[in-house]
Amino acid sequence: DIEMTQSPSTLSASVGDTVTITCRASQNINNWLAWYQQKPGKAPKLLIYRASALESGVPSRFIGGGSGTEFTLTISSLQPDDFATYYCQHHNISPLTFGGGTKVEIK
Amino acid sequence: EVQLVQSGGVVVQPGGSLRLSCSGSGFSFDDYPMHWVRQAPGKGLEWVSLISWDGRSTYYADSVKGRFTISRDNSKNSLYLQMNSLRTEDTAFYYCAKDDGFGTSLYYFDSWGQGTLVTVSS
């Protein structure tokens, strides 16, 4: 199985900051990586797929990058609505696995 | 608008069985693979199972293989998860999720149900 490792697990930031979350895969997954945002008590929401493709309706301040085994999610100019937990997920082949999550909290 | 509506939460004893359901609307249900994903309270996300658009192919996480069965009834726009031999570690919010792939799985989820809490406890 492909193991996904996210860092950091928690990130403290202020409105207007630019933050970057890293996700590493245990083997080459090309660009088969998705990012989700989850708020407390809610279902996750798809942000990015195929490493850098922005889901329809998602603000352009969410930027995905990387390929192979190392990937990033950058959120530029953090907005109040962006404080949430973010998960990466490889979408290469079954079994599908997620990273452990990164909580972006208000500093 | 895509909507996935799930059945309500329940409490079940260890060793017991339960069937979850998920009703889809706002899209051509029978054209898309569907998944179940779970999340233990306060923990991360875990993929559980995938079913092809026609129900002929199914896939499972090792943690549930042999105990859970995914199925669908396209005439009712419904997805199911039959859960047998439940364990305390199966306690989680269970989400149904739509695959973004038309006719074939792209293995990521573009729409999610609201979640159902399954509590396995004596």
Distance (Å) from the alpha carbon of A44 to chain B's nearest alpha carbon: 7
Distance CA B112, CA B115 (A): 8
Give me the residue from B45, B59, B61 closest to A44, CB to CB: B45
Q: Does the structure show a pLDDT above 90 at B81?
A: yes
A99 pLDDT above the threshold of 90: yes
Q: For A88, which residue in chain B has the nearest alpha carbon?
A: B45
Q: Please count the residue pairs, one from chain A and one from chain B, whose beta carbons lie less than 8 angstroms apart.
A: 57
Q: What is the pLDDT of residue A90?
A: 97
User: Using CB atoms, which residue from B59, B95, B107 is nearest to A91?
Assistant: B107
Is A103 an interface residue toward B (CB < 8 Å)?
no
Per the CB < 8 Å rule, is B107 touching A92?
Answer: yes
| Cα four-point dihedral sign A63, A66, A71, A72 | negative
On the question of pLDDT at A9 being above 90, the answer is yes
Residue B90 has pLDDT above 90, yes or no: yes
Task: Name the average pLDDT for chain B.
Answer: 97
pLDDT for B43 = 97
Q: Is B62–A95 a contact, with Cβ atoms under 8 angstroms apart?
A: yes
Is the preceding peptide bond at A8 cis, omega within 30 degrees of 0?
Answer: yes
Tell whether the model's pLDDT for residue B14 goes beyond 90: yes
Query: What whole-number distance in Å separates Cα of residue B47 and Cα of residue B66?
Result: 16
Residue A35 in contact with partner chain B when CB distance is under 8 A: no
Q: Is A86's pLDDT higher than 90?
A: yes
pLDDT-based confidence at residue B7 (cuts at 50, 70, 90) = confident
Measured in angstroms, the CA of B62 and the nearest CA of chain A are apart by 8
